[in-house]
A and B are shown apart, each in its own frame.
Chain A
Amino acid sequence: MPPKDDPELQKLRKELDDMMKKIKEEQDKVADKTLQDICGDMADAPKVRLTTKKLLKGHINKVNSVHFSGDSRHAVTGSLDGKLIIWDTWTGNKVQVIPLRSSWVMSVAFAPSGNYVACGGMDNMCTIYDLNNRDSTGAAKIVRELLGYEGFLSSCRFLDDKTIITGSGDMKICLWDLEAGKRSLEFEAHSGDVVSISLSPDSKTYITGSVDKSCRLWDLRDEKPKQTFFGHTSDVNSVCFHPSGYAFATGSEDKTSRMFDIRSDQNVATYCPPNSTSGFTSCGLSFSGRYVLCGSDDSSVHIWDTLKNQHNGCLTGHENRITSLSVAGNGMAVATCSWDNNVRVWV
């Protein structure tokens, strides 16, 4: 370890500062208008009318994660009660209950095909279950246990039945080939825990959010990020690609949600609730991208018109922190889960 006043290190530090300044300058150069300038004349978006159509009871401890299947009908939830539940959100019925080897689940994912679910957490691994094959106890069969993480599994997303991408507390991203049961890629992605991953609509790129306060855009096969987005002043808890593919929304511990535009490389909007008391744990966007929805520590979902930057209201019902939120692929419903042990489907 070179001494603090090592001239090479100092030179590199100065270069770093200069680069940061240059990036800011380049961003400012293209910031010719604000969101308000461009969208100010639009008609206000109507008030979102969502109510809890299904109150899904079944978990007996905090529910940490929810994710819709590609069929916009089934959803998987993971809870500290050590279970995954597969729900039919149209009827409210439990389709499958999967007992976990470790109850410390933090993240779940449904493959778009509906054939597999993945979960992981403080067990430092990601387990893949085949919903169409049962083991001797009648529960969905474990087809893969992905090991080797040096931190908790915080996020996972299936690209397809054969590929999954994971983010973890060891600051890494891993891309797994599920057929071979091997990592295709493993690299350090941030300078803090990676807590959220969102795939682009064309599945060629993805965004990561981290406790290091930044978000990064990656090409699927690269180990170096294409872009890094700064703006949040505390942990980024959740990221969500905009359906256009041009931008992404975030939810953060700093009590704001933001819209980052990819091609102009900057934070183009900051969404604040009327009373900034709580951080946002999760976020999602409506089908067109007009609304951003964020689950909050204050037990409600806050909604904003993304273009006019207007708070559109709150969805209330949960009695404790909302931990996760998932918008169905066809945009018809939003699922939320909470420390109150319940899952709600808002339609």
Chain B
Amino acid sequence: MDMMISNLQQQRQVTEQLRREAAIKRISVSQAVLEIMKYITEHEQEDCLLVGFSSQKANPFREKNSCTLL
């Protein structure tokens, strides 16, 4: 960690900030990751990179053969 401390004022501010950050409430990694996992699982069916397109018609990037009104 590289911090440029050029004077006392700045140094005091940096320490105060760290003190604030040290005092925050932290939840357990297990609970945190479980909730991320839950979110991902709940949204998996809408994630095209995971489940692809339901049909070619649902893919707006497909090559279109007929004329479309843009």
Contacts and interface: CB of A to CB of B under 8 A. Distances in A.
Interface of A: 1-2, 6, 8-9, 12-13, 15-16, 19-20, 22-23, 26-27, 29-35, 37-39, 42, 45-46, 48-50, 53-54, 73, 89-91, 191-192, 212-214, 224-228, 230, 242-244, 246-247, 261, 263-266, 268, 286-291, 306-307, 330-333, 345, 347
A287 B41 CA distance: 11
Contacts of B39: 243-244, 246, 288-289
Contacts of A89: 61
Contacts, number: 169
B11 A49 contact: no
A192 B52 CA distance: 40
Nearest to B46: A287
B50 A291 contact: yes
Secondary structure type dominating chain A contacts: loop
Nearest to B63: A53
Given A38-B34, A246-B39, A261-B33, A19 B19 contact: yes
Interface string B40-59: 11111011111011000001
A26 B24 CA distance: 9
A150 to B, nearest CB: 16
A266 B17 contact: no
B61 A213 contact: no
Contacts of B24: 226-227, 265
B61 A333 contact: yes
A19 B15 CA distance: 7
Given A261-B36, A307-B36, A331-B49, 8 more contacts: A12-B12, A31-B28, A246-B39, A263-B27, A268-B32, A288-B47, A306-B40, A332-B60
15 contacts: A2-B8, A8-B8, A9-B11, A23-B22, A30-B26, A31-B28, A32-B30, A243-B39, A244-B39, A261-B36, A288-B39, A288-B41, A290-B47, A332-B59, A347-B48
